[in-house]
Amino acid sequence: MPAIDLDRTDLLLLAELQRAGRQTNAELAERVHLSPSACLRRVQRLEREGVIAGYRAEVDPERLGLGLQAFVRVQLARHDAEAIAAFAAFVNDWEEVVACHALTGDMDYLVHVVVRDLDHFSRFLLDRLLNQAGVADVNSSFVLRTVKAFRGLAVGR
């Protein structure tokens, strides 16, 4: 999908909604110096155009008992369309996987995994990733601490 033209006000709206998505339309309008009706029209256009893809709560994994995060680099045993589709289907079904990216280089995928503990990770790795998904090799790195968490995309800053 091609990028759409966004003006300075659109970019301010996007930055503000990423910073505080639950603010009222009136609060948002004041922050970006628009009337509430003009603000609402612009936000609705950004939603309709697919620039705003959705709204969701930011959840603290540790408060849910999910204290271990890992990045797993995966190399598939086969690279035909069927093997790639099967891997993608598995990954999309696993709740432990919060993101998965196809890569260039010596590994095929980078999988972000969030689990309770090392035992949970071990079961995920052995029972799912290595046993079910047509994986030839994995290389795991555990998150010691997060230096900068995702806080939204840079929108014209």
- Residues near 40 by Cβ (< 8 Å), separated by ≥ 6? 25, 29
Confidence of residue 157 (pLDDT cuts 50, 70, 90): low
**What percent of the chain stands above pLDDT 90?**
89
- CA-nearest of 69, 76, 15 to 43 is 15
pLDDT computed for residue 151 by the predictor? 86
- Mean pLDDT score across all residues of the chain: 95
At the top level of CATH, which class does the domain 8-48 belong to? mainly alpha
As a whole number, mean pLDDT of residues 83-98 equals 96
Q: Locate CATH 3.30.70.920 in the chain.
A: 61-142
Sheet with strand 97-102: strands edge to edge: 97-102, 109-115, 68-76, 135-142
Contact criterion met (CB below 8 Å) for 132 and 90: yes
99-132 per-position pLDDT tens digit? 999 999 999 999 999 999 999 999 999 999 999 8
What phi, psi does 45 have (nearest 5°)?
Answer: -65, -45
- The answer to whether domain 61-142 has CATH 3.30.70.920 is yes
Which positions ≥6 away from 28 have C-beta within 8 Å?
A: 13, 16, 17, 39, 43
Instruction: Kindly report, as residue ranges, where domains of CATH 1.10.10.10 are found in the chain.
Output: 8-48
* Range 139-146 average pLDDT: 97
